[in-house]
Amino acid sequence: MKLIIVGGVAGGASAAARARRLSEEAEILLIERGPDVSFANCGLPYYIGGEIVEREKLLVTTPERLRTRFKLDVRTRSSVEAIDRTAKKIRVRDLASRREYEENYDKLILAPGAAPLRPPIPGIDLPGIFTLRNLQDVDRIKERVDQGVKQAVVVGAGFIGLELVENFVKRGIATTVVELQDQVLPPFDKEMTTPIVETLLAKGVKVLLGQSADGFEEAPDGVIVRLKSGQRLPAHLVILGVGVRPENKLAVEAGLEVGPRGGIRVNEHLQTSDPNIYAVGDAIEVKDIVSGDPTQVPLAGPANRQGRIAADNIFGRAVRYRGTQGTAIVGVFDRTAAMTGASEKALRRANRPFRKVYIHPTHHAGYYPGAEAMTLKLLFDPTTGRVLGAQAVGGAGVDKRIDVLAVAIQAGMTVFDLEEMELAYSPQYGSAKDPVNMAGFVAGGLMRGDHPQTDWEAVSVMADKPFLLDVRTPLEYANGHIEGAINIPVDELRNQLADMPKDRPVVTYCQVGQRGYLATRILMQTGFKVSNLGGGYKTYQMFGGEVVNETPAGSPQPSSQGCRVEDRPLTIPAKEPVR
């Protein structure tokens, strides 16, 4: 068996090591265009920021190590130029000597990865404009930063974009992030990104949403980024983080099938349309395990597992890749945002019915010092209760809850299963009713009809204008409430039922939903047509948290209360008489 693997980073290196473990006899070539194999691409932004100090830390392994330990024929700085599928051979170009030669194969694994997009706009090739994919990129960017950069523009507010923003700020660089969409972190639902935007603003980052660059101009010590809006942003350093595209040229030229977005098509054994050629990693199209649809998810974890599985199949084990659920996480300063499974917008795009709940717990028992706040959003099937997706944003403990929910999705669990989860509790680590249990309780109650819920988006368009009931304390109400809401604290509600309208729908809310839930139960049982506002006032604020598309220097920044509330001055009445 002669196996050739094209690409030596996550998926390729995993495939090679696995192949050797499965066969001492096989001839295994690992061909990599760059000088490095298996480097820590997810660590690159932190090397620029100085969190990771030694460059060697980024090298997970070396060609030499792979040669001695795994008896691999590793050829770096070698580019595979073409595949002759009929003859089962490839043409390799040695980039140093420019020599070309052929190698035949029994099986081939393509692990070429994905390349950062460089949109064809004027000036894109000016010096000072970078993308970030590998160690050579990071060396160039770090060199520039080390030389002294005062202003940077990051185009694209995705995961890598925001990681770079954080690291630039830590290096003292005034940073602007420009994003075409009207939110940061596009895979997330917009309201869940509100706390991330607040953090960026609090750290002095200029956040320009719904904007895009349409040109770059040379400037004395850098570049001018020209936006479609006409705005011109001077920068000593520009990063393009606007997405990646599968490196499919080799596959396409060899006549292998690719999907509409360019991902190399594979079956569940990761075999391409040519049974002798497998493909893994960021270059392939995979199945989204929630929707069942094809998708492209460039993530390190799945790439590693795919490499392993491709090798398994080649060496006679019929192992299946179950698909990808898109579990992802990003740290932005002291906040964490993470998600797994389907987002609300993906479900809407697919016209798939769903319900959702929001909770705002702390990451461990509130009575123990250091509890950090988070918001957790759970999406589930309205008929079966099956968990479809989850997103969380906050401080510590966000990663844990998303991991727990990732497993729930993998297992096909329902919100009722979440109610029963027995998670580790001691006050430093969690709560007797963990956030995941709480999300299950709220969603389970909704499924059972215990507490009808109305989402904010629905309240704002209700034909039958509801009686908005704020059941928080007068102080909380005075500090900000939804326009038109009447305040009756939950503890006084039972005594004031006579004053409430029975001919109009009542929508009740509190800060996070819990007192609103009790109020809903009281009102439901006493003849009112009532529902609870999903996730309470805090969720309402996250929806309201629209970012000013431009924050002129020196203008006041939105507070952590969310912008919409601040934008339109609130009527803060004294406690109103209830009719």
Catalytic residues: 42
Q: CA torsion angle for 573, 575, 576, 579 (degrees, to 10)? A: 160
Residue 73 Cβ vs its own copies, minimum distance, rounded to whole Å:
15
Residue 558 Cβ vs its own copies, minimum distance, rounded to whole Å:
27
Could you say whether residue 411 binds its own copies (CB under 8 A)?
yes
Choices 214-222, 227-235, 400-408, 562-570 (CB under 8 A): range interacting with its own copies = 400-408
Residue 339 Cβ vs its own copies, minimum distance, rounded to whole Å:
8
Which residue, 194 or 437, is less far from its own copies as judged by CB? 437
Contacts 24+ apart (CB under 8 A), 369-373: 372/396, 372/397
Choices 107-115, 354-362, 367-375, 555-563 (CB under 8 A): range interacting with its own copies = 367-375
Among residues 231, 267, 410, 473, the one that binds its own copies under rule CB under 8 A:
410
Q: Which residues ranging from 541 to 560 are in contact with its own copies (CB under 8 A)? A: none
Among residues 325, 375, 531, 532, the one that binds its own copies under rule CB under 8 A:
325
Q: Are 203 and 173 in contact (CB under 8 A)?
A: no
CA 101 to chain centroid: 42
Among residues 88, 133, 335, 400, the one that binds its own copies under rule CB under 8 A:
400
Q: In terms of residues, how long is the chain? A: 579
The CA distance from 11 to 6, in Å, is 10
Provide the 3-class DSSP secondary structure of residue 34. Answer: coil
For 219-233, the three-class secondary structure string (H helix, E strand, C coil) is ECCEEEEEECCCCEE
Which residue, 324 or 539, is less far from its own copies as judged by CB? 324
Could you say whether residue 189 binds its own copies (CB under 8 A)?
no
Which residue, 300 or 458, is less far from its own copies as judged by CB? 300
Q: Which residues ranging from 76 to 105 are in contact with its own copies (CB under 8 A)? A: none
Among residues 299, 373, 458, 548, the one that binds its own copies under rule CB under 8 A:
299
Residue 104 Cβ vs its own copies, minimum distance, rounded to whole Å:
24
Choices 107-115, 209-217, 268-276, 410-418 (CB under 8 A): range interacting with its own copies = 410-418
Could you say whether residue 487 binds its own copies (CB under 8 A)?
no
Q: Are 472 and 482 in contact (CB under 8 A)?
A: no
Q: DSSP assignment of 526-562, as one string?
A: TT--EEEETTHHHHHHHHH-PPPS---TTSPPP-TT-
Task: State the first-to-last Cα distance of the chain, in angstroms, to the nearest integer.
Answer: 84
Q: Are 258 and 265 in contact (CB under 8 A)?
A: yes
Could you say whether residue 40 binds its own copies (CB under 8 A)?
yes
The CA distance from 522 to 528, in Å, is 9
Q: Which residues ranging from 117 to 176 are in contact with its own copies (CB under 8 A)? A: 159
Provide the 3-class DSSP secondary structure of residue 216. Answer: strand
Q: Which of 414, 483, 412, 400 is nearest to 443 (CA)?
A: 414
Could you say whether residue 68 binds its own copies (CB under 8 A)?
yes
Residue 443 Cβ vs its own copies, minimum distance, rounded to whole Å:
15
Q: Which residues ranging from 279 to 298 are in contact with its own copies (CB under 8 A)? A: none
For residue 214, what are its two tokens? 């349409």
Which residue, 78 or 340, is less far from its own copies as judged by CB? 340
Residue 270 Cβ vs its own copies, minimum distance, rounded to whole Å:
13
Q: How many helices (H) and strands (E) does the chain have?
A: 18, 30
For 270-290, b where at least 16 C-beta lie within 10 A, e where not — what string? bbbbbeebbbbbbbbbbbbbb
Which residue, 248 or 340, is less far from its own copies as judged by CB? 340
Residue 134 Cβ vs its own copies, minimum distance, rounded to whole Å:
15
Query: Binding pattern to its own copies, positions 491-530, x when CB under 8 A?
Result: x--x----------------------xx--xx--xx----
